[in-house]
């Protein structure tokens, strides 16, 4: 495909916009529900650092400006989600969570600047291996970071805590970024692999949401319908149906409350 700087920058800009706003639905959801249950803190922490290593690669390779902005915006917003996990999930104080966010941002900035100055001389002398390491490491980190989130999905048997809109917009950001590279004079394979990896692994989460969430909804509905008239609560654990009587002197609505709690678990 012939090089087209205008198309490259236009598609890269769309990808940047997607990766600027993609975490906003997740941040909003966590703030609105005051919970990060089901969202892996390791996912957002490792994604934040993957943006740092990709930033080193993008700056030294002199990619277009939108593609240089992408990893930095991605990191900053990922770290916001991580700070929310500290505040809502681990119940740290607001001051401690903000301090942890500031500390990880300062560390990331210092690390990136240091690596740029350390790697650029080798790159200028024709040694591509150091800069390629950062690009490949970023791809590996993005892939590894989703493994804890897959475990959360397996544990809850549905996709909760993580915003599906976040995953969808994030995937679109990878698509447009990939397309922008196609119009570059020389296709950047490492950046292309990184963006494609985001698309594929985000798609896995979305497919899980489409399949598992309706199943979980039907499971909760079935549990509600099977609620015995005497107040016994049927609970399925490992496919085995079990009933547990309500506590003595429990109020009339106690079984329903306990059913809802067991369904969420």
Is pLDDT at 86 greater than 60 in this prediction? yes
Q: pLDDT band at 247, cuts 50/70/90?
A: low
Give the percent of the chain with pLDDT over 90.
30
Q: Is 246 left (phi over 0), alpha (psi -120 to 50) or beta?
A: beta
Rounded distance between C-alpha atoms, residue 141 and residue 51, angstroms: 9
Q: Which of 169, 161, 143, 140 is nearest to 73 (CA)?
A: 169
The residue ranges of DSSP E strands in the chain, in sequence order, are 233-237, 240-244
* Residues whose CB falls within 8 Å of the CB of residue 227, separated by 6 or more in sequence, listed in order: 233, 234, 255, 256, 259
- Computed over every residue of the chain, the mean pLDDT equals 81
Is pLDDT at 59 greater than 80 in this prediction? yes
Q: Which helix (H) or strand (E) holds 262?
A: helix 254-264
Is pLDDT at 38 greater than 60 in this prediction? yes
Is pLDDT at 243 greater than 60 in this prediction? no
Rounded distance between C-alpha atoms, residue 251 and residue 258, angstroms: 11
Average confidence (pLDDT) over 25-44: 90
> Three-state SS for 237?
strand
User: Quick check: 236 and 219 in contact, CB under 8 A?
Assistant: yes
Q: pLDDT band at 5, cuts 50/70/90?
A: confident
* Better-scored residue on pLDDT, 47 or 87: 87
Q: pLDDT band at 232, cuts 50/70/90?
A: low
Q: pLDDT band at 144, cuts 50/70/90?
A: confident
Is pLDDT at 219 greater than 70 in this prediction? yes
Is pLDDT at 189 greater than 70 in this prediction? yes
Rounded distance between C-alpha atoms, residue 88 and residue 95, angstroms: 13
Count of beta carbons in the 10 Å neighbourhood of residue 198 = 25
Average confidence (pLDDT) over 153-164: 87
Token code pair at residue 211: 């399949």
Rounded distance between C-alpha atoms, residue 223 and residue 215, angstroms: 12
Token code pair at residue 44: 């957002």
Q: Which of 240, 46, 211 is nearest to 138 (CA)?
A: 46
């Amino acid at each position: 495909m012939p090089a087209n700087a205008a198309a490259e920058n236009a598609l890269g800009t769309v990808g940047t916009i997607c990766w600027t706003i993609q975490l906003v639905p997740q941040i909003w959801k966590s703030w609105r529900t005051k919970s990060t249950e089901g969202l892996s803190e390791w996912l957002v922490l490792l994604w934040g650092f993957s943006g740092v290593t990709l930033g080193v690669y993008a700056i030294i390779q002199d990619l277009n400006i939108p593609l240089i902005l992408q990893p930095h915006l991605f990191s900053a917003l990922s770290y916001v989600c991580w700070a929310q996990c500290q505040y809502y999930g681990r119940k740290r104080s607001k001051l401690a969570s903000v301090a942890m966010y500031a500390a990880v941002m300062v560390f990331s900035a210092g690390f990136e600047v240091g690596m740029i100055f350390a790697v650029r001389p080798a790159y200028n002398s024709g040694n591509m291996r150091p800069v390629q390491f950062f690009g490949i490491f970023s791809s590996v980190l993005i892939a590894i970071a989703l493994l804890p989130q897959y475990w959360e999905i397996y544990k809850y048997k549905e996709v909760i805590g993580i915003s599906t809109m976040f995953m969808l917009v994030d995937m679109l950001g990878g698509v447009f970024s990939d397309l922008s590279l196609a119009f570059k004079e020389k296709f950047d394979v490492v950046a292309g692999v990184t963006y494609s990896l985001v698309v594929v692994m985000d798609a896995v989460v979305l497919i899980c949401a489409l399949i598992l969430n309706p199943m979980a909804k039907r499971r909760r509905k079935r549990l509600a319908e099977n609620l015995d008239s005497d107040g016994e609560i049927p609970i399925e654990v490992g496919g085995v149906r079990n009933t547990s009587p309500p506590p003595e002197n429990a109020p009339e609505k106690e079984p329903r409350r306990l059913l809802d709690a067991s369904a969420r678990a």
